[in-house]
Structure 1
Amino acid sequence: MAARAYWKGQIRLALVSIPVEIYPATRSGASVSFRQIHEPSGKPVKYEKIVPGIGPIDKDDIVKGYELSKGNYVLLDEEEIEAVKLESKRTLELVQFVEASDIDILYYEKPYYVVPADELAEEAYIVLREALRRTKKVGLGQLALRGQEQLVGLRPCGRGLVLEMLRYADEVNKAASYFRDIPASKPDADLLDLAETLIDRKTGKFDASDFHNHYVDAIKRVIAKKAKAKGKRVLEDVEEPAGIREGSNVIDLMAALKASVDGKKKTATAAKKAPAKKAPAKKRA
């Protein structure tokens, strides 16, 4: 079954319009969701709408409210909310281009693949892709979607284009409030050299398939065992990831870094120089 397009429309750059379709580039396959079950009956638990001091209420009596202050709400009905929703336009206009490095990673929210809608759109699509690649720029625009306006960035990706949903400025917490107490002093040059040596030795190309969510893997194993165990209790032992455990205390940073570097050198040298093991001598009768 072919994937369903998340949005269909056209990207407009000045007088040029390119018909495109966008598709989600990610999926939520790494998580395991649970439902609350009433154990004696084995049936799922449902939630009732309850007002404190009144009890269960009818869902038709529920409206949306915005809290101005503690316990003080402005009430809005669906018609008032619908009246201000933006019409979903079928045009994404690129209004500005910026350096890719100018957009902080905190602003990126969710990626979508952008593909040409038909063969007639391919030429203009390829021109835009290569122009963005050569200039190392990201195209910015605002997409009216599902009643709201979403800030987006368009960038090249392999043979195609990727549309990144971006956060607005008021959706990102300022880093200064978290980092202000961290000293601005420069680190010791020798310590920095040792740290860079470790980083260089562990540097490689990123491949997401090299990493696995060990918790999700373990939960899936427990679920599979439990399904076969016919109600018996099943426990799964998960080893703690290698590294410094909680509660460890690195007293001398220089010694720890040197040990890390020297340890890797000794391991590599020992592997090269290790003599072949002799066969054990036969015991005399």
Structure 2
Amino acid sequence: MKFNLHSASSPDHAFQIAAGLKEGWRYIAGGTDLVIQLRRGVREAADLIDLSRISALRTIETSETSFRIGALCTHKDLEGHAALVREFPALQAAARVVGGHQIRNVGTVGGNLANASPAADVAVALLALDAKVHVRGPSGTREIAIDDLFVSSGKTTLQPAEMIERIEVTRHGDRSRSVFLKVGRRKAMEISVVSAAVSLKFDAGGVCESARIALGAVGPRPLRAKAAEKLLQGEVVDAALVADAAALARDECTPRSDPRASAAYRTAVVEGLVKRAITQCAAALSR
């Protein structure tokens, strides 16, 4: 594995560096996924543009309406931000199970999204939270709904030379609850066999106003269980409804077998995981 490393001091500097390189270069920040992929020959790159010195991309800004998370924020940064954790517990739960302490200290939120793994824990949580992804390229900036970011395993809708600048999560109010759960072969430092994130918003009477259910490692990309979401909306969440929604979520999956788990196992597990996540969301409203 040989490559040239170029250090960028700003997004514009990164674009200038990229303009002088041959095709096949890549951005790198934490490198927790990319370096392994390069070593294994899964990806190739003669040149890497290091973004880790761009301090402006490692901030978490809070406003009355949203949180704006810099792409270079690490998973540890998410874990340690009190306001973010209080409002979006699913995001903290996802961040704290990404590898071990060393990985979480250097692995970035932007990298978790750009890597586009179907099993990416933080990506699944952000999908449930309806995040917006702000990207910058040589020709300007644009906003991508997180639903539109992922194409398939390892592929996104980012254009050549575009980088993720920040991720914006709208504040959902005090009657919203979110949960993230995963199943792996071990309790820690394990790629998800199946993961689920659920975000529910309730009205004053306890009726579910909106629902988002995101699933990981059960398709070619992080996906939403839209039929299950629709079933919950406008209803009081009881045990029978939860069971029906979980069954719908199971039917929306298209898992494949791999060395970590069979497709049949994933299909069986996801139903129970979604059931638990919805139940925990509804129960959290009363606390």
Q: Same fold (TM over 0.5)?
A: no
* TM-score after normalising by structure 2: 0.19
* TM-score after normalising by structure 1: 0.19
Greater Rg by CA: 1
